[in-house]
Amino acid sequence: MYHEIANDIINKINQGDFDTKLPTEQELMARYGVSRNTIRRAIDVVYQRGLLRRVQGSGYYINRQPSASKAIMNLSAGTGNAMHSAETHLTSKVVTFDKVNVDHEYARLMHVPDGTEMYRVVRLRSLEGELYCLEQAYFLTKLIPVLTVEAVNDSILTFLKETYAITPTSSDDFVSVEQLTADQASLLERPVGDSVLCLSQLNYCGNGTFFNYSITHYVYPGIHFYFHAAPLASN
């Protein structure tokens, strides 16, 4: 219930249906026909997405979002949704698609046993003809017995959702500056050793089990990662 309401509010905000403030809780309760607790829970979701700031005694104010540049990748909503924002316009060229048994180093990164079998998908992604990133992703074959070529060429996440009902619900994210290896550099048409933004993600699905690791190098000019930190507070 509160999920639907949260999504509805998010969509309305993105459509600009509200001016600067959200309606009051009372009005939202009436509009959706639910209790105050449910409305507040829905608003928690929206707030945690960074779309609102809340002021006691006054109301919920809509945050001006950071300039929606193609060069800004929003990581606030978690992996699943970050994909939808800018990544919908990305085109992919599959470089590698096979099964591998991960070596010791990768196994340690993912906290899986040495030699665990995984799908490996390497994709070169572009935005309107300009190289965007080189993505190297691994999926547990134990959880995802079959991964099709169509899915890899299209959207892997929607395939996983539709076929296996697997959706990333949480992730561990590491950001660093890395220097391109010869292989990476040639694919990305960059000098060897060039310093680029690098994002490593460990993705977990509903019940908290690990299912995917990916490491992505971003070369799009002026690329930034953005996220809004709005802890539920505790100090």
Cα(109)–Cα(214) distance, integer angstroms:
11
CB 71 within 8 A of CB 223: yes
Out of 25, 159, 204, 215, name the contact with its own copies by CB under 8 A. 204
Out of 14, 35, 181, 195, name the contact with DNA by CB under 7 A. 35
Q: Select from its own copies, DNA, none the partner in contact with residue 34, using the beta carbon and a kind-dependent cut-off of 5 to 8 Å.
A: DNA
In what helix (H) or strand (E) does residue 197 lie, and over which residues does it extend? strand 195-205
| One-letter amino acid for residue 63 of the chain | N
Out of 38, 116, 141, 167, name the contact with its own copies by CB under 8 A. 167
- The least CB distance from residue 216 to its own copies, in Å, is 14
Handedness of CA 131, 133, 134, 137 (dihedral sign): negative
The span of 27-35, 166-174, 180-188, 210-218 binding DNA (CB under 7 A) equals 27-35
Residue 75 or 144 having the CB closest to its own copies: 75
Q: In angstroms, what CA-CA distances link 185 with 122, 193, 215?
A: 14, 8, 15
Q: Kindly state whether residue 22 participates in binding DNA, applying the rule CB under 7 A.
A: yes
Q: Kindly state whether residue 1 participates in binding DNA, applying the rule CB under 7 A.
A: yes
Q: CB atoms < 10 A from the CB of 226, how many?
A: 15
Out of 8, 18, 45, 54, name the contact with DNA by CB under 7 A. 54
